[in-house]
Amino acid sequence: MAELNIAQAINSALDTALSSDDRVLILGEDVGRAGGVFRVTDGLRNRYGAERVVDTPVAESGIIGAAFGLAVAGMRPVAEIQFLGFSYPAYDQIVNHVARIRNRTNHRHTSPMVIRMPYGGGIGAAEHHSESTEAVYVHIPGLKVVVPSTPKDARGLLLAAIEDPDPVIFLEPIRLYRAVKEHVPDIYYTVDIGPLRVEREGSDITLVSWGAMMRETRQAAGILAEAGVSVEVLDLRTLSPLDRDGIVASVEKTGRAVIVHEAPLTAGLGAEIAATIQERALYSLKTPVRRVTGWDTVFPLKRSEHHYLPSVDRIVAAAESALED
Amino acid sequence: MTSRKAGLGRGLEALIPIHGETTSSRPPGQTSANGSSMFRLINPDGTVRDRLPVTLEEMKSLYADMVEARVYDDKSMAMQRQGRLATYAPFRGQEAAQIGAAAALRPGDWVSGTYRDAALNWKAGYPWKLLILGRTGDERGGQVPEGVNVMPPSITVGGHMIHAVGLAWAERLKGTDRIALTSFGDGATSEGDFHEAMNFAAVYETPTVFLCQNNGWAISYPVEEQTRSETIADKALAYGMPGVRVDGNDVIAVLVAVREAAERAREGEGPSLVEAVTYRLGPHTTADDPGRYRKDDEVAAWEELDPLVRVRRLLERSGAWTESWQQSLETEASNRIEEAVAWAESVPEPEPDDMFKRMFAEPTPNLVEQEREATGRG
Ligand SMILES: Cc1ncc(C[n+]2csc(CCOP(=O)(O)OP(=O)(O)O)c2C)c(N)n1
Ligand SMILES: [Mg+2]
């Protein structure tokens, strides 16, 4: 057991997967020699060689298309796209090939592969480096999408994703990479893809979030709790398939929900969650579901970032307004 | 203007290609095993290989531009370390490739380059003060003055090359003699977009110049591993356009090659590819630690080939360089950059509603609503 941050926990999962399964290989831009632009694959090339930790040309479609071929023919590739915002050159491969092969061949061929992508803002990065377009992938039938917000979940979810018989998009919250540390077991363990995690139990209101926004959501919960509110906090962890039962169970108990995400409001995952609550828990609701999200704008550059990212204040205000009803 | 023979290839082959250089004299990381020719006019020691097609005054002015670019680059690195700029991608070592290429363009020509092309963009008309404002993390830095046809630096690798096809195509449709130059790195030639851009340009014979600044590395991935082509220039052959490899640290070789390509484009003879062989002396960006993937002696070997030093030696030989002239160049450049920095830093903080206002010509109803919420005027 070691104290690890999220970046280290992901590294430990990759290490474990490479050492326990010969079919696993890592490929992506700068993942080898440099150990990844966020040092997430640090040391792996030295340990497992350039054949299993493969630096690729700058070619996202190539990375995913090649990983797809590797997966269909029996390997377990873990592909890295350097930032979510650079996944679009590979979009055709992901949507039209990776996500569909099982369906097209009626289970004859499959693509058990993982696509890791750092995502989200908050570090004053250049254009396209701060995107939070998880809904783009959640919307695609045939893909699973997971996103950890803690080191323990990061390791367990990644090992589960690598084991999974289907393609998994594994999103990594950039601004949390080194923000939280906890004891992470070094034994082989998995965190199931699907179930959400009730991070904090309460009975007055449910806060729903995932990934990078869990930090602000936790802080808001802390402020509300100090004011005497009994807050339940859900960390979805898996965005597709969505744990509808888990969300509904919580809202049936609290009668109030605030959904927090960094992505733009319109057609964000919050809309799907709110619709689910409306369909399955309408009569438990004491007040309309609130959404606290990014705006329907391009993610701004450094100087305006704080105007975009949903703040703790906005989450608290949304919860307070829900509690007034 | 000197009279020009048809065809980039011919024009350049008439000049002196460097054949049969010994391997040892080639800098590490940029070798060409079977001796493909590389066009060079000024040797690293400042001697010249042929009559230079520029006057001494022009030479001095190109040198002054490179000095100014270097001052900007150094200043930006320092400012980033002080937290005054967002991530910065230095171009140190690539000044000749960028200044030489821009010097070959005419006002009104289009430029579509990358995050590393500040010197190119500046020389093509993008003011320092706006480049700096952009690097502080402010979208207003992207608002180039009317008449400056420089696209915002592409942050995504490769997506912008094809734009120089459409831009050039439009100029042809409009009946102007403007051309479009796209600048990109060695790494970008691995993106599928490179293929599409080269093919479109060749098929539609657009007046496009492809300038690859082959600086040896795509972050941590060396060019030798990126491709099995002997050179980047070789790739042009497959698309049916001329490709030429020039010493990218020789400002005049770059100027001549890009000018040939540009003139060719202007005269309706279609696109060309110029590979400028150069080297990134600094880190990929301020977030990068090159010590993790490349050796100091490789960098040191390229320091010897510094594109500014080469021209300084040439000017020294001509008696046109003095210590005091150098001093005054640096001081004047520094004053201009400081002025640009002061301006950029005096630009008021963006308002919370700015981002809503630049999404569409007219904000859509959801944006109007969200803007009210964001500004507390809801
Ligand atoms: C589509 C895309 N993929 C990946 C990246 C991350 N990235 C930024 S620069 C770079 C390397 C580019 O190398 P090269 O084209 O040689 O240009 P250089 O940085 O050397 O000037 C990479 C992989 C990106 N910005 N865009
Ligand atoms: Mg490069």
Which residue's structure tokens are 């989450």?
A: A315
Answer whether residue B133 shows pLDDT above 50.
Answer: yes
CATH code where residue A64 lies: 3.40.50.970
Spacing, Cα B219 to ligand 1 middle (Å): 7
**Coil, helix or strand for B294?**
coil
Q: Based on the domain organization, do A110 and A208 belong to the same domain?
A: no
The residue in chain B having the minimum alpha-carbon distance to the alpha carbon of residue A302 is B137
Instruction: Report the percent of chain B where pLDDT is more than 90.
Output: 89
Which CATH number among 2.40.50.140, 3.40.50.720, 3.20.20.10, 3.40.50.970 corresponds to the domain B4-347?
3.40.50.970
Cα separation, B128 vs B126, in Å, equals 7
Helix H or strand E segment including B101 = helix B95-103
Cα separation, A170 vs B360, in Å, equals 33
Chain-chain contact of A303 with B193 (C-beta, under 8 angstroms): no
> Of A130, A154, A184, which residue is a domain's last?
A184
Q: Which of B138, B370, B373 to mutate to test the interface with A (most CBs of A within 10 A)?
A: B370
B227 Cβ neighbours under 8 A, 6+ residues apart: A57, B186, B189, B190, B235
Cα separation, A228 vs B171, in Å, equals 67
Residue in A99, A100, A117, A112 with CA at minimum distance from that of residue A163: A112
The residue in chain B having the minimum alpha-carbon distance to the alpha carbon of residue A295 is B370
Number of domains in chain A: 2
CB neighbour class for A51 (10 Å; exposed up to 12, middle 13-18, buried from 19): exposed
Provide the domain limits for residue A21: 2-184
> How does pLDDT run across B329-357, given as a tens digit for each residue?
999 999 999 999 999 999 999 999 999 99
Give the per-residue pLDDT at B189: 98
> Of A184, A208, A238, which residue is a domain's last?
A184
Cα separation, A112 vs A165, in Å, equals 5
Which residue's structure tokens are 């990844």?
A: A36
Q: Based on the domain organization, do A240 and A135 belong to the same domain?
A: no
Exposure on the CB side of residue B297, measured as CA atoms within 13 A = 1
**Ligand 1 close to Cβ of residue B113 (< 6 A):** no
Check CB contact of A29 with chain B, cutoff 8 Å. Answer: yes
Give the per-residue pLDDT at B378: 57
Which residue's structure tokens are 């040892």?
A: B24
pLDDT-flagged residues of chain A (< 50):
none
- CA gyration radius, chain B: 21
Check CB contact of A222 with chain B, cutoff 8 Å. Answer: no
> How does pLDDT run across A174-229, given as a tens digit for each residue?
999 999 999 999 999 999 999 999 999 999 999 999 999 999 999 999 999 999 99
d(CA B169, nearest CA chain A) in Å: 24
Give B-chain residues touching A129 at CB under 8 angstroms.
Answer: 155
**Ligand 1 close to Cβ of residue B123 (< 6 A):** no
Q: Based on the domain organization, do A140 and A252 belong to the same domain?
A: no
Q: Based on the domain organization, do A179 and A139 belong to the same domain?
A: yes
Check CB contact of A167 with chain B, cutoff 8 Å. Answer: no
> How does pLDDT run across B67-94, given as a tens digit for each residue?
999 999 999 999 999 999 999 999 999 9
Nearest to B139 among A57, A265, A301 (CB): A301
**Ligand 1 close to Cβ of residue B187 (< 6 A):** yes
Q: Based on the domain organization, do A14 and A98 belong to the same domain?
A: yes
Give B-chain residues touching A304 at CB under 8 angstroms.
Answer: 137-139, 350, 352, 354-355
Cα separation, B154 vs A30, in Å, equals 20
pTM, full prediction: 0.95
Q: Domain spans of chain B?
A: 4-347
Give the per-residue pLDDT at B244: 97
Residue A114, phi then psi, degrees to nearest 5: -120, 135
B112 strand-pairing partners: B182
Closest ligand to residue B189's CA: 1
Q: Based on the domain organization, do A47 and A159 belong to the same domain?
A: yes
Structure tokens at A257: 């929900």
Give the per-residue pLDDT at B310: 97
> Of A139, A158, A184, which residue is a domain's last?
A184
Answer whether residue B245 shows pLDDT above 90.
Answer: yes
> What does the mean pLDDT of chain B come to?
91
Q: Based on the domain organization, do A91 and A34 belong to the same domain?
A: yes
> How does pLDDT run across B22-37, given as a tens digit for each residue?
333 344 445 444 446 8
Cα separation, A308 vs A294, in Å, equals 6
Chain-chain contact of A297 with B287 (C-beta, under 8 angstroms): no
Give B-chain residues touching A31 at CB under 8 angstroms.
Answer: none
Check CB contact of A92 with chain B, cutoff 8 Å. Answer: no
A290 strand-pairing partners: A258
